[in-house]
């Protein structure tokens, strides 16, 4: 029998009969948001050729979305618990669609940056709210795990087909299509959300104090900016200042939350070991996957000369692994145990990355496809990891759990590019001949067509392999930590708080 779930009216009912249709709305909204992140990467060259932004403006066009999204995850989740999660989601759909439509009047880099910032606001309203609603739509732990598996599979689909859709749109239309694609989808999402999603609120919402909002937003935005700057410029004074400011503000925010009985973010959830294990799985998987997609895309386009559309199709094996594995992971967890699936899945992904290092060099596409497939299958265990995170939190704290999970994905992606991407870049530069130009040292793209091209390609191949070694070792080490954190007899029903 389903556990009763609290509605916004304060009464209790069984599981909502519309829950699977509602899940379709939530999964589709996540699909579009993830696709939007990847479509921009394809559209950026044409956008910069048209608007001719300087180097600083180009960085802000790319980075402002992540900065705004990361900074708003915590306060927006807390507001959704109080104001209404469905209401917050529908407002997020509206903001995302309206911001995408504004690109029609954006004819300068500054205006595109403003559009990207508004998209970050909408994304922050959408992404954690979908998780909060899944927590309340599916009171049964096993059903919730299946729902989260489907939700996770949609993230894999979005990451995979985004470049393909972006490439197709750019072949037929201008770069504006990368934004306008969102508008009709968001209109449909608003209508479907009104019809299919029930409202839910926390009966004990966290407080919304101004100091906490400033500390959480400033801390997350400063930390993300600092990590991004580290990846681009190294450990310079700006990196040290922004990382230090972010760490100070986030530490102050955590201490403030620990002193409050009704904090904006319930950081005490980390006392629950399965919750911590789930967050670690999300963080480290995101570190590895984002860096793999970045370097894999460069390897396909610059080393093999494939088009963006061909590259998107070539990266599909990782998505296929996730699409197939995510819905099946909860059933497998019931057979062999939660610990085995989450820790084992991360280890499988780690082995996939190690293939990049141990297989004969130079790598051929079949070798990379095998690595991508194993990474996709292994990280499908995040469906169970997400169930550990969301099930460890009472329904009243679903917003806090969702904000922490989404923050771990966001921070993981930034760390992946900054740390693993920087490791690959350093290895690449170290392998270049002494007379290579500065442009060649900056990137493989700058080396092509120069006398150093052959050496640069060989060096990039080596850097890709070194990345595989580092990322694979990281995932295998964290899988051992997750094995230790997760009780041996934990099953999906026991995850329930």
Would residue 454 count as lying in a domain? Answer: yes
Q: Do both 140 and 227 map to the same domain?
A: no
Would residue 4 count as lying in a domain? Answer: no
Would residue 7 count as lying in a domain? Answer: no
Q: Do both 149 and 244 map to the same domain?
A: no
Per-residue pLDDT of 139-184, as tens digits, reads 887 788 888 888 877 877 777 777 777 777 777 788 888 888 888 9
Would residue 112 count as lying in a domain? Answer: yes
Q: Do both 375 and 283 map to the same domain?
A: yes
Q: Do both 321 and 395 map to the same domain?
A: yes
**How far does Cα 270 stand from its chain's mean position?**
20
Would residue 255 count as lying in a domain? Answer: yes
Domain that residue 214 falls in: 209-263
Would residue 431 count as lying in a domain? Answer: yes
SS3 labels along the chain = CCCCEECCCCCEECCCCCHHHHHHHHHHHHHHHHHHHHHHHHHHHHHHHHHCCCHHHHHHHHHHHHHHHHHHHHHHHHHHHHHCHHHHHHHHHHHHHHHHHHHHHCCCHHHHHHHHHHHHHHHHHHHHHHHHHHHHHCCCHHHHHHHHHHHHHHHHHHHHHHHHHHHHHHHHCCCCHHHHCHHHHHHHHHHHHHHHCCCCCCCCCCCCCHHHHHHHHHHHHHHHHHHHHHHHHCCCHHHHHHHHHHHHHHHHHHHHHHHCCCCCCCHHHHHCHHHHHHHHHHHHHHHHHHHHHHHHHHHHHHHCCCCHHHHHHHCHHHHHHHHHHHHHHHHHHHHHCHHHHHHHHHHHHHHHHHHHHHCCCCCCHHHHHHHHHHHHHHHCCHHHHHHHHHHCCCHHHHHHHHHHHHHHHHHHHHHHHHHHHHHHHHHHHHCCCCCCCHHHHHCHHHHCCCCCHHHHHHHHHHHHHHHHHHHHHHHHHHHHHHHHHCCCCCCHHHHCC
Q: Do both 186 and 247 map to the same domain?
A: no
Per-residue pLDDT of 71-89, as tens digits, reads 888 889 888 888 889 999 9
Residue 356 tokens read as 């990049």
Residue 296 tokens read as 């894999």
Instruction: Find out whether 286 and 412 touch, Cβ atoms under 8 Å.
Output: yes
Would residue 6 count as lying in a domain? Answer: no
Q: Do both 159 and 285 map to the same domain?
A: no
Q: Name the percent of the chain lying above pLDDT 70.
A: 95
- CA distances from residue 400 to 74, 78, 269, 274 in whole angstroms, order as listed: 7, 7, 9, 16
Would residue 2 count as lying in a domain? Answer: no
Q: Do both 108 and 168 map to the same domain?
A: yes
Q: Do both 405 and 331 map to the same domain?
A: yes
The domain total for the chain is 3
Per-residue pLDDT of the chain (497 residues; tens, 9 = 90+): 333 333 332 333 456 778 888 888 888 888 877 777 667 766 777 788 788 887 678 778 877 888 888 888 888 988 888 888 999 999 999 999 999 999 888 888 889 999 999 999 999 999 888 888 888 888 887 788 888 888 877 877 777 777 777 777 777 788 888 888 888 989 999 999 999 888 888 777 777 788 888 998 898 888 888 887 887 777 889 989 999 999 999 999 999 999 988 888 889 999 999 999 999 999 999 899 888 988 988 898 889 888 777 887 888 898 888 888 888 888 898 899 999 999 999 999 999 999 999 999 899 999 999 999 999 999 888 889 988 998 888 878 888 888 898 888 888 888 888 889 889 988 998 988 888 888 888 888 888 888 888 999 999 999 999 999 999 999 999 999 999 999 988 877 666 55
Per-residue pLDDT of 286-342, as tens digits, reads 899 888 988 988 898 889 888 777 887 888 898 888 888 888 888 898 899 999 999
Instruction: Find out whether 441 and 167 touch, Cβ atoms under 8 Å.
Output: no
Q: Do both 98 and 134 map to the same domain?
A: yes
Domain-ending residue, one of 161, 189, 208: 208
Listed in sequence order, the residues at least 6 apart from 236 whose beta carbon sits closer than 8 Å to its beta carbon are 229
Sign of CA dihedral 45, 51, 56, 62: negative
Q: Do both 437 and 304 map to the same domain?
A: yes
Q: What angle do CA 288, 292, 298 make, to 5 degrees?
A: 155
Q: Do both 279 and 257 map to the same domain?
A: no
CA distance linking residue 400 with residue 406, whole number of Å: 10
Domain CATH code at residue 336: 1.20.1250.20
Domain-ending residue, one of 208, 228, 254: 208
Domain-ending residue, one of 191, 208, 225: 208
Instruction: Find out whether 369 and 160 touch, Cβ atoms under 8 Å.
Output: no
Q: Do both 215 and 103 map to the same domain?
A: no
């Amino acid at each position: 029998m389903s556990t009763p779930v609290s509605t916004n009216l304060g009464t209790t009912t069984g599981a909502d009969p519309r829950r699977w249709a509602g899940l379709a709305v939530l999964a589709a909204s996540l699909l579009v948001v993830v696709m939007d992140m990847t479509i921009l990467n394809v559209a950026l060259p044409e956008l910069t050729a048209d608007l001719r932004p300087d180097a600083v403006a180009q960085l802000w066009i790319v980075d402002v979305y992540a900065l705004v999204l990361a900074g708003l995850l915590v306060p927006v989740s807390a507001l959704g618990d109080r104001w209404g999660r469905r209401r917050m989601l529908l407002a997020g759909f509206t903001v995302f669609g309206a911001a995408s439509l504004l690109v029609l009047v954006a004819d300068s880099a500054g205006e595109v940056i403003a559009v990207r910032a508004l998209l970050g606001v909408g994304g922050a309203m959408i992404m954690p709210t979908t998780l909060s609603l899944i927590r309340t739509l599916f009171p049964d732990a096993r059903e919730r795990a299946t729902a989260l598996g489907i939700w996770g599979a949609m993230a894999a689909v979005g990451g995979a087909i985004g470049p393909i859709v972006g490439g197709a749109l750019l072949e037929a239309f201008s770069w504006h299509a990368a934004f306008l694609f969102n508008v009709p989808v968001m209109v449909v999402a608003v209508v479907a959300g009104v019809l299919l999603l029930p409202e839910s609120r926390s009966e004990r919402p966290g407080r919304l104090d101004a100091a906490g909002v400033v500390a959480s937003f400033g801390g997350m935005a400063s930390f993300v900016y600092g990590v991004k700057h580290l990846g681009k410029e190294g450990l310079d004074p700006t990196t040290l200042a922004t990382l230090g400011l972010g760490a100070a503000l986030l530490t102050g925010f955590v201490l403030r939350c620990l002193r409050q009985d009704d904090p904006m973010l319930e950081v005490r959830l980390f006392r629950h070991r399965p919750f911590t294990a789930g967050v670690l799985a999300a963080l480290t998987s995101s570190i590895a996957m984002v860096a793999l997609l970045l370097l894999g895309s460069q390897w396909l386009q610059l080393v093999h000369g494939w088009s963006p559309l061909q590259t998107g199709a070539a990266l599909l094996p990782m998505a296929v692994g996730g699409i197939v594995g995510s819905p099946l992971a909860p059933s497998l967890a019931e057979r062999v145990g939660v610990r085995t699936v989450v820790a084992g899945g991360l280890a499988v992904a780690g082995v996939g990355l190690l293939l990049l290092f141990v297989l004969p060099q130079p790598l051929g596409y079949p070798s990379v496809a095998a690595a991508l497939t194993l990474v996709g299958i292994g990280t499908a265990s995040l469906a169970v990891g997400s169930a550990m995170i969301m099930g460890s939190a009472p329904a009243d704290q679903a917003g806090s759990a969702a904000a922490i999970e989404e923050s771990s994905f966001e921070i993981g992606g930034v760390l992946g590019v900054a740390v693993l991407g920087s490791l690959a870049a350093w290895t690449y530069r170290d392998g270049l001949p002494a007379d290579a130009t500065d442009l060649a040292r900056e990137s493989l793209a700058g080396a092509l067509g120069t006398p150093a091209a052959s050496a640069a390609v060989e060096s990039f191949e080596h850097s890709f392999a070194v990345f595989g070694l580092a990322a694979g070792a990281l995932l295998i080490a964290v899988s051992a930590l997750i094995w230790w954190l997760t009780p041996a007899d934990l099953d999906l029903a026991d995850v329930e708080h």
